Amino acid sequence: MTTIICRNLATGINGRIITGSVNLDITPGTMTALTGPSGCGKTTLLHTIGLLQTPAAGTLAVDGVDATAWNQRRRRRFWRDKAAFILQDYGIMDEETVGFNVSMQLNTLGLAVGGDRRRIRNALRSTGLDSRADEAASHLSGGEKQRLGIARAIYKNASVILADEPTASLDAGNRANIIRLLRERAAQGAAIVLATHDPVLVGASDRVYRIGAHSDE
């Protein structure tokens, strides 16, 4: 399991500070919502917590180790070993099958889906996509692609899941399903961080960090 600690963390783009003085404890078994109005910097903060962007100031520690200045190799190791991302652009290869998008591996001949087939089936079954394994991911709806992102996190057994607006534009049924899946991952020990303006998802989270308010609940 993984803990991420942010102290006086600042985020920025092209030298411009977006958020500052962020203090957060992201711990196993919890869902933390980063919320605020559009344009407040939710996604930038999420990307910084996930080491996709370098902090502008302050410190970010992963399991007690200062990761603020990690080089690309250390970051890639974190992404490979610990983290899974569910991003607004889905991060999904539309031309590949749903099954491939879970494991992101080909077999040794490069001709079929690689990885652990049983784990792929279980991940797809848990997200209601088991009948779609051999279809191209381009056939999936937006809500199904969000569930595919969660299936990938389940397959990977990621200890940190970072999701950007995972319930955006979903109907009530799909939103409830996404929230249930995320809560299940938290119950199994994952640390989940969400950038969201969805009040239902915020209400389902254990902790809420309101950007600009400099406080968490």
Task: State the greatest distance between any 2 C-alpha atoms of the chain, in Å, as a whole number.
Answer: 53
Confidence of residue 215 (pLDDT cuts 50, 70, 90): very low
Cα gap 145→148, rounded to integer Å = 5
- pLDDT of 106: 60
Q: How do residues 50-74 score in pLDDT, each as one tens digit? A: 999 999 999 999 999 999 999 999 9
When mean pLDDT is compared across 53-62, 71-80, 140-149, the lowest value belongs to 140-149
Angle separating helix axes 117-126 and 142-156, nearest 10 degrees? 140
Residue 85 has pLDDT above 80, yes or no: yes
Give residues with Cβ within 8 angstroms of 111, minimum separation 6. Answer: none
> Is 144 strand, coil or helix?
helix
Q: With contact defined as beta carbons under 8 Å apart, do 166 and 35 qualify? A: no
Cα gap 165→184, rounded to integer Å = 18
Residue 111 has pLDDT above 70, yes or no: no
**Residue linked to tokens 């009948």:** 131
Q: How do residues 178-210 score in pLDDT, each as one tens digit? A: 899 899 999 999 999 999 999 999 999 999 999
Query: Which alpha helices (DSSP H) does the chain contain, by range?
Result: 42-49, 72-81, 98-103, 117-126, 142-156, 172-187, 199-204
Set out the domains of the chain in order of their start, with CATH numbers: 4-216 (3.40.50.300)
90 vs 126, which has greater pLDDT? 126
When the pLDDT of each residue in the chain is averaged and rounded to a whole number, the result is: 88
- pLDDT of 143: 81
86 vs 170, which has greater pLDDT? 86
Q: How do residues 10-41 score in pLDDT, each as one tens digit? A: 998 887 888 888 999 999 999 999 999 888 89
